[in-house]
Amino acid sequence: MRLTLYLPLLLLCALSIAACTSGQKAREADGRDREFWVSFKIREVNDTLGVPHVQCPDDVDVDEGAHYRCVAKAGDGTSVAVNVVQPRRFATGLRVSTKLLETRKVEMRLRHDLNVGRLSEPGVVLLDCQDLVEVKKGGHFTCQGKALFRDLTVRATFTNDRGKFTYTVRSRPSRRGN
């Protein structure tokens, strides 16, 4: 008789513990999904990146229309805080509202300018810009390059919030040779 009284109580306790544990795992899975989709959205803009590491806050309310910030870190060590908008409850619908520099296009433009454009630095064989750069007026980024027997440093400053920038190039003899 005692067993029949305790059995429902034990069953209720076991179900309560299972529900709490599965709820925590669901929240962790939602956070990982959110971080995956933020990383995916960043890579859509900037395909020169490897998979950036993204960390979003755990206590995000993922209701429709939620806004929150995540931190993305690239393989070269650069990081940027990105604003995320969640128009739907599901992570797949989120959008990154922070404008990021399209690094590959910028590297190609600078390579062209340095090789055949107004700067006439012959033989630019390598140019590498920071992987993650937020586009905002007054912000800046740096690229490192190598020309024939020269090391180059390109320092660029954004002149507006749409990605237009000006730059200067510092050239010095290469220490190791190219």
Residue 31 or residue 150, greater confidence: 150
Which residue segment(s) compose the domain that 138 sits in? 103-173
Same domain, 77 and 35: yes
| C-alpha to C-alpha distance for 112 and 165, rounded to whole angstroms | 15
Per-residue pLDDT at 4: 53
Nearest CA-CA partner of 68 in 79, 58, 77: 58
Domain end point (choices 96, 120, 142): 96
Please state the rounded mean pLDDT for residues 80-98: 78
pLDDT band, very low/low/confident/very high, at 16 (cuts 50, 70, 90): very low
Please list, residue by residue across 15-52, b when 16 or more beta carbons sit within 10 angstroms of its beta carbon and e when fewer do: eeeeeeeeeeeeeeebbebbbebbbbbbeeebebbeeb
Please state the rounded mean pLDDT for residues 31-54: 75
101-130 pLDDT, tens digit per residue, is: 888 889 888 888 887 655 555 566 688 899
Same domain, 27 and 92: yes
Domain end point (choices 41, 73, 96): 96
Per-residue pLDDT at 125: 67
Nearest CA-CA partner of 154 in 138, 168, 164, 166: 168
Same domain, 24 and 82: yes
Amino acid identity of 45? V
pTM: 0.69
Same domain, 111 and 135: yes
Tell me phi and psi for residue 64, to 5 degrees. Answer: -55, 130
Per-residue pLDDT at 137: 96
Residue 30 has pLDDT above 70, yes or no: no
Residue 164 has pLDDT above 60, yes or no: yes
Residue 61 has pLDDT above 90, yes or no: no
